[in-house]
């Protein structure tokens, strides 16, 4: 029994060193090799940080592309989903209100044309990206409110569409903040 206790203590110490020292240091150095040097990719306009590319922001003005709704109002300190299921009346009311808002600003759409991501909040509440389809349905609105050619806005969406990681992992996506910053730069 004494030998088992000593083995257990040795394994615990070895795993503690590996998992609490070596692994975090490795991850820290790997992060320093990434965009933003491990601090996140900041978006800077005229020398001022306007946001982070990996954290969603609220855009509600009709001249901007809208991101995925957030159950926590894009507050990173309270990152979470709403935990309301599809049979919850409050959840259904929220989704219905979001659909009504989308149809109000996009009268050319049918309910069946609305991507689910545009009316349902994400698990983290901080999604910075939308699908190319979600961006495409907004082109007409954004172009009309900004009084610019739809083709220019469509080209901007295409230029800001990122393919799957390494061409294999995940879906194509459009970062809403980067797209809106580029949209403002069109002036």
The residues, any chain, with a CB within 8 Å of residue 176's CB and separated by 6 or more, are: 56, 57, 59, 65, 66, 67, 128, 129, 130
CB atoms within 10 A of CB 83: 9
Is pLDDT above 90 for 138?
yes
What is the pLDDT averaged over residues 34-63? 81
pLDDT of 11 reads 94
What is the pLDDT averaged over residues 158-179? 89
| Ranges 41-55, 62-76, 142-156: which has the least confidence | 41-55
At residue 36 the predicted structure's pLDDT band, cuts being 50, 70 and 90, is low
What is the pLDDT averaged over residues 44-61? 83
- Quote the longest CA-to-CA distance of the chain: 80
pLDDT of 99 reads 93
At residue 126 the predicted structure's pLDDT band, cuts being 50, 70 and 90, is confident
Query: In the Cβ-directed half-sphere of 82, how many Cα atoms lie within 13 Å?
Result: 17
What is the pLDDT averaged over residues 6-32? 92
DSSP, res 82: -
- The domain segmentation of the chain, as residue ranges, is 1-33, 41-185
What is the pLDDT averaged over residues 85-113? 90
- Supply the mean pLDDT for the chain: 87
Residue-wise pLDDT tens digits, 62-98: 999 999 988 888 877 777 777 777 888 888 898 999 9
- Higher pLDDT, residue 127 or 133: 133
Strands annotated E in 15-135 = 42-45, 48-52, 129-130
What is the pLDDT averaged over residues 135-162? 94
Of residues 173, 178, 107, the one with CA closest to residue 137: 107
Cα separation, 136 vs 105, whole angstroms:
14
- pTM score above 0.75: yes
Cα separation, 40 vs 51, whole angstroms:
10
pLDDT of 136 reads 95
């Amino acid at each position: 029994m004494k030998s088992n206790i000593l083995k257990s203590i040795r394994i615990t110490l070895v795993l503690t060193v590996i998992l609490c020292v070596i692994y975090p240091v490795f991850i820290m150095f790997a992060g320093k090799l990434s965009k933003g040097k491990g601090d996140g990719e900041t978006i800077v306009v005229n020398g001022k940080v306007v946001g982070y590319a990996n954290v969603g922001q609220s855009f509600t003005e009709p001249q901007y592309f809208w991101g995925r709704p957030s159950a926590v109002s894009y507050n990173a300190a309270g990152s979470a989903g709403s935990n309301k299921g599809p049979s919850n009346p409050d959840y259904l009311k929220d989704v219905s209100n979001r659909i009504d808002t989308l149809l109000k600003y996009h009268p050319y759409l049918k309910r069946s044309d609305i991507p689910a991501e545009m009316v349902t909040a994400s698990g983290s509440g901080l999604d910075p990206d939308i699908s190319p389809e979600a961006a495409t349905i907004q082109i007409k609105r954004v172009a009309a409110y900004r009084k610019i050619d739809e083709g220019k806005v469509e080209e901007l969406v295409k230029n800001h569409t990122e393919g799957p990681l390494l061409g294999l992992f995940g879906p194509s996506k459009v970062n809403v903040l980067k797209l809106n910053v580029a949209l403002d730069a069109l002036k």
